[in-house]
Homo-oligomer: A and B are copies of this chain.
């Protein structure tokens, strides 16, 4: 008999990141404590929270920021998870082997054990987001992890633009897709395109919630990083959407914030019964999705 609780409380830690990795770990620790004190059962940190967003530049010295998994950060956070009885999503710059690095996230269970690892599958590489230099594309595939609070998929940042990733998470049984993120404005574009960029980001993720009948959460950093001319203004705006795409809570763009949001699990099946997309998928006609382009 399945005795999963009918709701879970999700904590999102939207933080600004300092140049010193230890400072960021300390901040994450007290923010997790704060979320747990407010009832959060699963607490998510932003992408690569241990450092500033180093992918603004291509510099071989910056590989020194990487660490193994398990490693020093998971040791600290496992201990904290056990102490507080919460699950933690910890996005890390993973050193898998000398010369082999990933943009990863580990799910830590309330007993301190590691439920597993997700390695970012879709890697961007664009002005000031030079990720292909640092990260080998993930080989984990899209994964769903069992937790005491329900099955959870972790996807990371650029993944959020790919409907395929969200669909695979839902097909694998996720109740919740959480997207640790580091996305912001190029200050020179903010005036003209900033509002449309933020709106597109919200829209595409709310659509994943709608098309898949799942809860979707994005956890972004905030603050400005880098010298003028090559700086990024991270747009915060971390949010949780319900399976109908309604935003349940949202952080501001420009402030650190800890959100704790109750997610009512029966809403998933209720939504899917009313708009039963999974009943009607044409799996016989989707083989083209495995192609790069249909130019034959």
User: What residues make up the interface of A, taking CB atoms closer than 8 Å to B?
Assistant: 121-124, 126, 137, 141-142, 158, 161-168, 171-173, 196, 199-200, 203-204, 206-208, 210-211, 244-246, 274-278, 280-283, 285-295
Contacts and interface: CB of A to CB of B under 8 A. Distances in A.
Contact of A290 (B211, B283, B295): B283
Given A162-B211, A163-B167, A142 B196 contact: no
A289 B286 contact: yes
This protein's copies in its complex: 2
A164 B284 CA distance: 12
Given A171-B291, A288-B172, A291-B171, A164 B123 contact: no
26 contacts: A122-B281, A122-B282, A123-B280, A126-B275, A126-B276, A141-B285, A161-B210, A161-B211, A161-B275, A162-B282, A163-B166, A164-B167, A164-B286, A164-B289, A168-B285, A168-B289, A171-B293, A173-B294, A173-B295, A199-B245, A200-B210, A203-B206, A203-B245, A204-B207, A287-B290, A289-B289
B281 A292 contact: yes
**Which 4 residue pairs spanning A and B have beta carbons closest together?**
A207-B207, A163-B163, A172-B294, A171-B294
Contacts of A126: 274-276
Contact of A282 (B137, B173, B286, B293): B137
Contacts of A137: 282
B289 A167 contact: yes
A196 B246 contact: yes
A291 B283 contact: yes
Secondary structure class of chain A's binding surface, majority of residues: helix
Contacts of A282: 121-122, 137, 162, 164-165
Contacts of A203: 203, 206-207, 210, 245
B285 A292 contact: no
A278 B199 CA distance: 20
A144 to B, nearest CB: 8
Contact of A162 (B165, B200, B281): B281
A204 B199 contact: no
Nearest to A276: B126
Contacts of A171: 288-289, 291, 293-294
A90 B121 CA distance: 41
Given A168-B294, A207-B211, A286-B289, 5 more contacts: A142-B285, A164-B289, A168-B286, A204-B211, A286-B290
A122 B123 CA distance: 32
A149 B290 CA distance: 28
A207 B173 CA distance: 22
A277 B121 CA distance: 12
Contacts of A288: 141-142, 168, 171-172
Contacts of A200: 210, 244-245
